Amino acid sequence: MSKVQAEAQSHLDAIASIDPEICNLIRQEEQRQADVLRLIPSENYASRAVMQATGTVLTNKYSEGYPYKRYYEGQQYIDQIEQIAIERAKALFGMPHANVQPYSGSPANQAVYLALLKPGAKVMGMALPSGGHLTHGAKVSFSGKIYTPVPYTVSPDSHLLDYGEIRQIALSEKPEIIFCGHSAYPRILDFAKFAEIANEAGAVLVADIAHFSGLVVSGAHPSPKGYAQIITTTTHKTLRGPRGGMILCEEQHAAALDKAVFPGLQGGPHNHTTAAIAVALKEAAAPEFRMYGHQIVKNAAALAEGLLHHGFSLITGGTENHLILIDITSKGLGGREAAKSLAAAGIVANCNAIPFDTRKPFDPSGIRIGTPAITSRGMKEAEMKKLADWMAEVVAHAHDDKVLTRIAGEVRDLCEQFPAPGIGI
């Protein structure tokens, strides 16, 4: 039994006796998370404190409503927990109102639609293949089916946002809301420009900062505060909380958004998650978190430099945030093929469409990687150089099991030197 499995034994003892099958799978997942380089940029390691909060009796309680205005009795502790989470969220993001109940990022965005729009209304957002999110008006999502999407793309040449073109589209289409935010755009967003465009077009600006909210609170990415009237985010990506969502907004939208979350979309809030969000927000307010956010960006830059040195083709030529999008076809591989080979070598990424991709979404041209999780383990620039070397070796020997197995062993050795937070609680 490995060290991680031994440690995991004690905190999983009750599951082990009731349901050994599930217990065993959880243990194996813990070991996997300990042993590999997790590069999916939307994933992270929540701290031991955050994980403990999610495993408490708070899961037993129903609390429809908001602090001190509930439909059920017995809320004397739940009210305090949710109020603390709200106050911490407001303080951290500098916004006058916070709702910490959305079950995740998509429900948070759904609440924005429900609060502000009638079906059929025009919504402008970054197109999915350009790096946008499903909920920003993609045809396959509720946002593109119930509302009228007005997509903007990145420039076909530079793959950067073209704010002049975004302005033109906004002025001619007059959408009611404009989403800025992304899940695969490796550059910083210019919130001031977006706000100027939204003002001119008479639209409400919504910043979906799910991917980089941890960078925003640590000062490693500009804040949308003062530009976007509404900010949505998940809590489990760069913010390192539990899986959840939040909405922050100006007072004028507070009542409508609260009503949209409950009773519009959701029933009782997940109180165990709310407590874990409160804990994560406390951690994110600590000075070490500032350093963490900046190190994520430094690591991504170092990794990009290493990859460029090995001749990888990076969308936009590099990165300014936590993620890197690689056109892997220039190495003679498809995105899915490359992701599978990397995973076999202990380097876990996801295949991803690149802007104007000519391949199918299920087997696109790109690989998306990011540094939030490996930075949570304490890895720095030196490890990024090593990682770029391994990635180059993997793509050069993508179907050589001997090479991939050898690298997986080396990756495991490196991982042992950087214990993952929250494993084996």
Which of 105/107 has CB closer to ligand DSN? 105
CA distance 208 to 224: 9
Report in angstroms how near the CB of residue 42 gets to ligand DSN at its nearest.
3
Q: 206 — phi, psi (to 5°)?
A: -115, 120
CA Rg, the chain, in Å? Answer: 22
Least CB distance to ligand DSN at residue 366 (A): 13
Question: At 421, which amino acid appears?
Answer: P
Active site residue 62: yes
Q: Which of 208, 258, 283, 327 is catalytic?
A: 208
Nearer to ligand DSN, 136 or 377 (CB): 136
Cβ neighbours of 12 (radius 10 Å) = 21
- What does the block give as tokens for 218? 């640590």
Footprint on this chain of ligand DSN (rule: CB under 6 A):
42, 105, 133, 183
Catalytic residue among 27, 38, 237, 331: 237
How far apart (Å, rounded) are the C-alpha atoms in residues 189 and 180? 8
Residue of closest CB approach to ligand DSN: 42
Q: How far is the CB of 180 from ligand DSN (least distance, A)?
A: 15
DSSP state of 419: P
Instruction: Tell me the CB-side half-sphere exposure of residue 298, using CA atoms within 13 A.
Output: 14
Strand (E) positions, 164-220?
A: 177-181, 204-208
CB 181 within 8 A of CB 210: yes
Among 379, 406, 377, 382, residue whose Cα is nearest residue 393: 406
Shortest Å distance, C-beta 423 to ligand DSN:
21
Nearer to ligand DSN among residue 133 and residue 377 (C-beta): 133
319 is catalytic: no
Residue number, 42 or 273, with CB nearest to ligand DSN: 42
The residue (of 97 and 133) whose beta carbon lies closer to ligand DSN is 133
The one-letter amino acid at 211: H
Which whole-number Å values give the CA distances from 245 to 183, 222, 391, in the listed order?
15, 20, 33
* 187 labelled catalytic: no
Check if 113 is active-site: no
Minimum CB separation from ligand DSN for residue 95, in Å?
21
346 neighbors 408 (Cβ within 8 angstroms)? yes
Active site residues: 62, 64, 208, 234, 237, 243
